[in-house]
Amino acid sequence: MNTRAPAVWLAITVGVASHGVQAATTGTLTFVGQINAGTCNLAAGDENRTITLPTIKVSDFDAAASTGAFDFEISADCESDINTVVFLFSGTPSTGNAQLFSNTGTSGGTALQLIHRGSPAYTIPANGTVDQRSRSIATAGNKAVMPLTAAYHKTGEPLTHGSLASAVTVSITYN
């Protein structure tokens, strides 16, 4: 038996295998990514919401400039890194009193008064500057909740019965 043949064969195999492991080049892996700030959105029920004020009588204005106040809240759902939400209100000012939001309903001499029930309470003017029509609300538990009151208000023009309809747009910014 020839024992030299397997040894030669083994030497040739090792020599061929050692040629395949040489390094030709090296490279660098670069990783990139992006971390974005969180977001806020008006709560689902507050995006397009109808708020129904209580029914009143013309005589309810005999003792007061406003009546039929109705308390409600609007809110924004936010991610955990958002600290403050700014609610901005806009709408058409009333011709009889530009501080109020216009009434496109059928009653005469009335418009909508919108009040932030903060401390102190603050009337949001329809014809105000951006700062006057904005309110900053701190978030708590990933939510910013703004307490509001809406009311019928005299404009100074003659009062008549009918409906009140007023559209107020709310938009939010946050940080």
pTM of the model: 0.81
Positions in the chain whose pLDDT score sits under 50? 7-16
Dihedral sign computed on CA atoms, order 95, 97, 101, 104: negative
- Tokens at residue 141, please? 């538990």
DSSP string, 109-141: SEEEEEEE-SSS-EE--TT--TTTTEEEEE-SS
Nearest to 60 by CA among 19, 5, 110, 24: 110
pLDDT digits (tens, 9 = 90+) for 89-132: 999 999 989 999 999 999 999 999 999 999 899 999 999 999 99
Rounded CA-CA distance 116/110 in Å is 20
pLDDT of the residue at 20: 58
pLDDT of the residue at 96: 82
pLDDT of the residue at 9: 44
Q: How many residues does the chain have?
A: 175
Per-chain mean pLDDT for the chain: 90
CA distances from 153 to 54, 136, 156 (A): 13, 25, 9
